[in-house]
Amino acid sequence: MRPRAALIAGVAIVMTASGVGGWLGGRAADRRAESMHRDHARAVASLVAAQSDLFLRASDAASVRRLMLDIHDAGGIAACRVVLPGVGVIASTNAGEIGTMELPETWADSAVRAERPASDATVEVGFGVPGRGSGVVEADMVREPSVLKDSVLKALLVGGVLCGLLLLGFARVVRGQRAMVAVASALNAACSGERRADALRVDGQAGGVAEAWNTMLDERDALSAQIADRAVLETAGQPGSDGAAGTAACDAMASGVIVFDDSQEVVYANGAAGVLLGISRDALEEGTLDSVIDDEAVRGAVREVTETAGRSAWVRDIVRGDNSEDPDAELRVTVRSIELSGTTMASLLVEDITQQRLADRSRNAFVAQATHELRTPLTNIRLYVEQAIDEGDEDPAIRAEALNVIGSESRRLERIVSDMLCVSEIEAGSLSIRVGSVRSEALFDELQKDYRAQAAEKSIELVFDLPPKLPAFEGDRDRIAQALHNLIGNGLKYTPPGGRVDVRVELPESGGVIVSVADTGIGIDPDECERIFERFYRASDRRIAHVTGSGLGLALAREIARLHGGDIKVESAIDEGSTFTLSIPAQSGGEGEVGRAA
């Protein structure tokens, strides 16, 4: 039988059973009440008959009537009366029924002697008064309304409620059955290899089993994600694990990496992070945000990222702090958020930007110095042009001197600009030389001319010691001139007035050139003799503070020498002087372009 037909049959049975049950119950109750009232009427009638017999023997009809009053007061019957044949009603609970108050000496003696039912509602009991006549006591039963209808209605109501409960139960069973079917088919799919929660999910409206199944799927997914995350974090770094390569790469990074979880505890830190922050790696890995990071702004950023999943990237530069070997070193901290299985973590990238900062500062200083250095020759050129215009026509000697200075200052300007260009070429790795034949005589003549005035101005004796024969050699004329300008220029710059600068030139027969520039200047601290060849480096000697310079000349000169396969060496002693020796070997490849990365 189909469930729906069974349900209808069940409802019909319950309602019929309820109706029949109600009717039977009501009828039995009616009968019980009637029988009870009849028994009561019979008992009252019998009692009144016995008493009336006694009272009437003594012709005391008044007592019979009092008895009626007592019966009326006692209740339990509708009415009661004493009837004498041929005389009528002599006493009654209903005073209006009494026909006569006078009792005759005798009256008819009818045949009634025993109880007999007068009707369905009245019980009659006879009595006889010896020698006078007989009588009848009529007791009317109390009539109560039938409870049959009410009983049937109540039973039907109960039946209706039962049917309602039956329907509800049935609906639940049907829903549960549907959920079971859906879960069973999802289980079948899972057995066939389906793992996606979306595909295995069933309609949650279907009821408790379906909801429980869906919740179980959600918990399974959350658990697998947690297990996967933990496995990644736990196995990362173990040889042969999937995360080993990534962790090894992080460990090899020069920048520090720290990952904080949402409770701001360190879940990963590489070696560089410990070195940069001055904390041992063990302490770092067991640390918390507050124990690892001193800077309040960085802590705030990590908290913002982990607690509110706020800004995705945040950058701040900080000084390294006292717990490190180099407290002045500058660090750049970048905080980023990482989403991992529903939790937001924060990653900290810590980079050492000290060198970058130094280079930035040097570059800024260089721009300032270069501007300053450009201004001097430009001012000189302007002044001598004015002088040549004003006085040149009258005095040809003044004009010649002015033009001479203008020429020399223009070349100085050219050198500065060339240095600046070379520096950018070194930085870009594109500095190159063009090897050709260099006429050494012309080159050293020009150098002498360029520095004679400057040396005289500063009262420095500038001596060029040239070999008697000045053959040509192979090299890039302009670049070698640039390097020599820097060496001779430095000799004059860093030698106090009254000193001496010797330029000694050797031109070996095998080719190339060796030029040493020796001065009697301030000298260089032995610790700084190599560092002065670094770009933007200037010695820490306080005496050079007022001397303009960019810290680029020697770096450039050494780069040029090395591009030729040669080098520059320095020997120096503080307060005694310095000797820079530039050596350019014979060029083997003949004419052409040579370049190398910086």
- Single out the segment in contact with ligand ADP by CB under 6 A; choices: 16-24, 105-113, 330-338, 489-497: 489-497
- Single out the segment in contact with ligand ADP by CB under 6 A; choices: 87-95, 259-267, 405-413, 553-561: 553-561
139/518 with CB nearer ligand ADP: 518
Q: What residue type is assigned to position 221 of the chain?
A: D
Q: Which residues contact 260 (CB under 8 A, 6 or more apart)?
A: 266, 267, 289, 302, 306, 345, 346, 347, 348
CA atoms of 91 and 69, how far apart (whole Å) = 9
Q: Does 490 bind ligand ADP (CB under 6 A)?
A: yes
Q: Work out which of 22, 207, 521, 566 binds ligand ADP, going by CB under 6 A.
A: 521
CA distances from 412 to 344, 375, 401, 475, 559 (A): 61, 11, 17, 22, 20
* Spatial contact of 206 and 179, defined as CB atoms under 8 Å apart: yes
Q: Does 302 bind ligand ADP (CB under 6 A)?
A: no
Q: Work out which of 257, 539, 560, 561 binds ligand ADP, going by CB under 6 A.
A: 539
Q: Does 494 bind ligand ADP (CB under 6 A)?
A: yes
Q: Does 512 bind ligand ADP (CB under 6 A)?
A: no
- Single out the segment in contact with ligand ADP by CB under 6 A; choices: 76-84, 261-269, 441-449, 490-498: 490-498
Q: Does 552 bind ligand ADP (CB under 6 A)?
A: yes
* Spatial contact of 45 and 138, defined as CB atoms under 8 Å apart: yes
- Single out the segment in contact with ligand ADP by CB under 6 A; choices: 104-112, 183-191, 197-205, 487-495: 487-495
Query: If you write DSSP's letter for every residue of 332-383 in order, what string do you get?
Result: EEEEEEEEETTEEEEEEEEEE-HHHHHHHHHHHHHHHHHHHHHHHHHHHHHH
Biggest alpha carbon–alpha carbon distance for the chain: 201
What's the N-to-C CA distance of the chain in angstroms?
Answer: 95
CA atoms of 590 and 474, how far apart (whole Å) = 8
Q: Work out which of 22, 512, 551, 585 binds ligand ADP, going by CB under 6 A.
A: 551
Q: Does 423 bind ligand ADP (CB under 6 A)?
A: no
Q: Work out which of 77, 333, 532, 560 binds ligand ADP, going by CB under 6 A.
A: 532
- Single out the segment in contact with ligand ADP by CB under 6 A; choices: 31-39, 45-53, 321-329, 484-492: 484-492
CB of 508 to ligand ADP, least distance (A): 25
CA atoms of 255 and 47, how far apart (whole Å) = 122
Residue 509 phi/psi, 5° resolution?
Answer: -65, -30
Applying CB under 6 A, the site for ligand ADP has a residue count of 20
CB of 514 to ligand ADP, least distance (A): 18
Structure tokens at 552: 């680029």
Q: Does 553 bind ligand ADP (CB under 6 A)?
A: yes
CA atoms of 380 and 383, how far apart (whole Å) = 5
- Single out the segment in contact with ligand ADP by CB under 6 A; choices: 443-451, 455-463, 546-554, 584-592: 546-554
Q: Work out which of 65, 538, 558, 564 binds ligand ADP, going by CB under 6 A.
A: 538
- Single out the segment in contact with ligand ADP by CB under 6 A; choices: 98-106, 242-250, 352-360, 545-553: 545-553
CA atoms of 207 and 555, how far apart (whole Å) = 82
* Spatial contact of 137 and 45, defined as CB atoms under 8 Å apart: yes
Q: Does 416 bind ligand ADP (CB under 6 A)?
A: no
127/494 with CB nearer ligand ADP: 494
Q: Work out which of 93, 486, 516, 583 binds ligand ADP, going by CB under 6 A.
A: 486
Q: Does 554 bind ligand ADP (CB under 6 A)?
A: yes
CA atoms of 333 and 350, how far apart (whole Å) = 5
- Single out the segment in contact with ligand ADP by CB under 6 A; choices: 153-161, 288-296, 392-400, 488-496: 488-496
CB of 454 to ligand ADP, least distance (A): 14
137/420 with CB nearer ligand ADP: 420
Q: Does 550 bind ligand ADP (CB under 6 A)?
A: yes
Rounded to the nearest 10 degrees, the angle between the axes of helix 396-428 and helix 354-391 is 160
CB burial of residue 545 (10 Å; 0-12, 13-18, 19+): exposed
Q: By CB under 6 A, name the binding residues for ligand ADP.
A: 486, 490-491, 494, 519, 521-522, 524, 532, 538-539, 544, 549-555, 578
